[in-house]
């Protein structure tokens, strides 16, 4: 099924990278000036790139940072006339032979989703990324997910999630439903299992029985996204 970034004939247009950047910025509620600062440029840099075509193309490193932030392949932000650049080259023959479009870079955010008392997250610019096979994401129902990776802090979700585990959060899933989610409560990020309570109420559940359930008003809680995958040491 074609996405909004695909032509019917499958050929990218000369200005499609600019169009995709503008679309992604709108979906993430990110201004072009803020994104310009993210890549270390002046406030008007991406505005001029999108509106005036200057610079003619993004630097590879700038495109890489933006793709990490949005959680999309770098190729999505590339115009038709630009040649592909494979960052996997030199990192092993198997990776070098795999087309760039076969990978998706998921941004790692320097945030801690506390599984205990809560952690404050002020800076949400990515510092690194996890690279996943696009086919793996597709087979796991995550092809259209809006994913970010953050770390778990604390022990209240043991044994399901341990301190130091990194989790993938689908920020497109913000509807109130049962399951493990990252939530924001009073400017604190927490990872908890959610359960429907009385009308207008929601219960935050821990896996560790030491931590009792907490019932709060739905108006006091923001669902950041649903936890869809975890990694951790054995």
Q: What is the CATH number of domain 103-231?
A: 2.10.109.10
Give me the phi and psi of 10, to 5 degrees please: 80, 10
- The pLDDT score that the predictor gives to residue 43 is 84
The average pLDDT across 153-180 equals: 90
pLDDT, tens only, 5-55 = 343 334 446 688 889 899 998 888 888 888 888 887 888 889 889 888 888
pLDDT, tens only, 116-130 = 544 434 446 677 888
Above 60 in pLDDT, residue 82? no
- The pLDDT score that the predictor gives to residue 211 is 95
Q: Where are the domains of the chain?
A: 1-83, 103-231
Ranges 89-98, 134-143, 157-166: which has the least confidence = 89-98
Of the candidates 7, 225, 188, the residue with the CA atom closest to the CA atom of residue 113: 188
Residue 3 vs residue 28, higher pLDDT = 28
Residue 207 vs residue 9, higher pLDDT = 207
- The pLDDT score that the predictor gives to residue 196 is 86
What is the pLDDT confidence band of residue 115, given thresholds at 50, 70 and 90?
Answer: low
pLDDT, tens only, 186-203 = 878 899 999 987 888 999
- Using a 10 angstrom Cβ sphere, with 0-12 exposed, 13-18 middle and 19 or more buried, the burial of residue 90 is exposed
Share of the chain above pLDDT 90, in %: 23
What is 1-83's CATH number, 1.10.10.10, 1.10.260.40, 3.40.50.150, 3.40.50.300? Answer: 1.10.260.40
Report d(CA 217, CA 201) in Å as an integer.
Answer: 4
- The pLDDT score that the predictor gives to residue 37 is 83
Helix (H, G, I), strand (E, B) or coil at 108: strand
Q: Which two tokens stand for residue 192?
A: 């908890």
- The pLDDT score that the predictor gives to residue 165 is 92
Above 60 in pLDDT, residue 93? no
Alpha helices in 5-116 (DSSP H): 16-27, 32-38, 45-52, 60-70, 93-97
């Amino acid at each position: 099924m074609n996405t909004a970034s695909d032509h019917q004939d499958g050929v990218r247009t000369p200005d499609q990278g600019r169009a995709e950047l503008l679309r992604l910025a709108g979906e993430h509620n990110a201004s072009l000036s803020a994104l310009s600062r993210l890549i270390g440029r002046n406030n008007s840099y991406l505005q001029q790139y999108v509106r005036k075509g200057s610079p003619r193309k993004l630097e590879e490193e700038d495109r890489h940072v933006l793709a990490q932030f949005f959680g999309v392949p770098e190729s999505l932000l590339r115009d038709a006339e630009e040649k592909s650049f494979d960052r996997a080259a030199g990192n092993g023959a198997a990776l070098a032979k795999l087309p760039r479009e076969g990978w998706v870079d998921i941004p790692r955010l320097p945030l801690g989703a506390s599984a205990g008392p809560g952690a404050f997250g002020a800076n949400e610019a990515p510092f690194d990324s996890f690279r996943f096979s696009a086919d793996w994401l597709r087979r796991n129902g995550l092809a259209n997910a809006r994913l970010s990776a953050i770390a778990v802090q604390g022990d209240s979700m043991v044994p399901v999630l341990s301190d130091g585990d990194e989790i993938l959060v689908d920020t497109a899933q913000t509807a109130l439903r049962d399951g493990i989610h990252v939530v924001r409560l009073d400017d604190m990020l927490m990872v908890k299992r959610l359960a429907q309570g009385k009308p207008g109420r929601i219960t935050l559940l821990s896996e560790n029985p030491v931590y009792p359930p907490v019932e709060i008003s739905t108006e006091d809680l923001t669902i950041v996204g649903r936890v869809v995958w975890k990694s951790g040491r054995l």
